[in-house]
Amino acid sequence: MAKVLVLGAGISGHTAVTYLNRYLGKKHEVVMVSPNSNFQWVPSNIWVGVGLMKPDQVKFKLAPVYKKLGVEYKQALGISIHPEGDAEIDSAYVSIRYVSEDREGEEEKVTYDYLINATGPKLNFDATKGLREHSNSVCTYDHAEHAWSNLQQAYKKMENGEKQTFLIGTGHGLATCQGAAFEYVLNIAFEVHKRKLSHLADIWWISNEYELGDFGMGGAYVKRNGYITPTKVFTESILKEYGIRWIKRAAVQKVEAGKVYYENLQGEKHTKGFDFSMLIPGFAGAGLKAFAKDGSDISDIIFAANTMMKVDADYTPKPYEEWSASDWPKIYQNSTYENMYASGIAFAPPHTMSKPMTSPNGTKIFPTPPRTGMPSGVIGKIVAQNITHQIKTGKKDHPHEASMATMGAACIVSAGYGLFKGKAAVMTVRPIVQDWEKYPKWGRSIKDTVGVVGTAGHWMKLFMHYMFLYKAKAKPFWWLIPE
């Protein structure tokens, strides 16, 4: 019997667990370790943040699902990885600390034959002074619920004739997830217009992107109405249509009550006042440590500087002009220990997709790579498939690959909630990482890179909300729904 341990019940880790259970059945052991008691469908958190969904509509309890599947679930936090064991345990294990009420603070060593690190990101609020205390977030359902509570106060002030300034975007020079913030600013503008309060709203988008529409992918060219349009134009046109002004090439460095301090790529220092803000924090790895059998710290061997796990990527330092699509991982296997994998945001990218930019003061101002949603689910599935293959055949090969340099992705950006008046921008790209050798003109296949805005997009996003929650709950025939 083989034992597969998965750390993290986000989109990638939960996907991996459900497929492992389906492929391996009861002949092998699957264990999930996650500090969270709930699964959350993160793409719908922005609707919680504008009061159009309740937290219970985007989450569900994990324990009943794992009990139904026969997966052992430990509500605990992974502390350290011991891939060689130690003097007491002669096999690989992870040290965990329980956070559940019945076992809070208790520690345990959980052994494994295969490990999937799917811990996701640490929301690094502390990297921007005052961000946690003086701004809002929609990164989790409880953050989004808190944001909605504060947003309602801004609406009430406008209803009483008081003008309000909204500042939405990225809260760090290296933050990613521009897409979530972009959805949020569009939904606020949509709701303000619906309430006939637009004349009292001054809505701003602030971003570390060199050009709008970069989205951490270095931008793209999309096919729209028969024309090839850069996402810069695509994005700017949507913001203008919604009456939103913008600040780009900005690294937010400090947030105070009602004011942000930021630096631009020219090295200039500016401030921007606000009444309500939602700024996405920077991401880092979960902070796991790793130790060899003799107790020596090997964290810098297993993890990159951002504490995300090194996998089968080319991490050789080289100039931006020499970066290649082939640098990106295909199977997400750890580069040192072959029975360890990292999926979703937990793996360390070899480099960014956006060109790195630095101000004259040395401040880095550019988005780091997004790996959320569809890519995370696909990666979780192929890692599960490869581990299953190895367990069942005894072979060490990897018949399944999912490089972001070949993988396509679809993104539906909500631009307003409503059955008949709601809108969304539907964007597809292939591949996610630009391949300038294969596609020298556009960096991607222009046939597969499309952008469309309309009510149908909103219906698609709403349908996907219910479809993927159904899938995540492992309801009958869940595996027929693609990632």
Domains in the chain, please, with CATH? 3-123+284-393 (3.50.50.100)
pLDDT class of 285 with cuts at 50, 70, 90? very high
> Token digits for 189?
């503008």
In the predicted structure, residue 256 carries a pLDDT above the cut 90: yes
pLDDT class of 419 with cuts at 50, 70, 90? confident
In the predicted structure, residue 451 carries a pLDDT above the cut 90: no
Contact in structure between 15 and 380 (CB atoms under 8 Å): yes
Q: Average pLDDT in the 413-442 region?
A: 90
Report pLDDT digits (tens) over 70-90: 999 999 999 999 999 999 999
Q: Average pLDDT in the 44-68 region?
A: 97
In the predicted structure, residue 293 carries a pLDDT above the cut 90: yes
Cα dist. 399→89, 381, 387, 393, 406 in Å? Answer: 32, 13, 10, 12, 15
pLDDT at res. 109: 98
Q: Average pLDDT in the 461-466 region?
A: 94
pLDDT at res. 347: 97
Report pLDDT digits (tens) over 190-249: 999 999 999 999 999 999 999 999 999 999 998 777 788 899 998 999 999 999 999 999
pLDDT at res. 224: 72
pLDDT at res. 83: 98
327 backbone dihedrals φ, ψ, rounded to 5°: -70, -25
Report pLDDT digits (tens) over 114-150: 999 999 999 999 999 999 999 999 999 999 999 999 9
Cα R_g (the chain), whole angstroms = 22
pLDDT class of 449 with cuts at 50, 70, 90? confident
pLDDT at res. 257: 98
pLDDT at res. 372: 81
Contact in structure between 385 and 401 (CB atoms under 8 Å): no
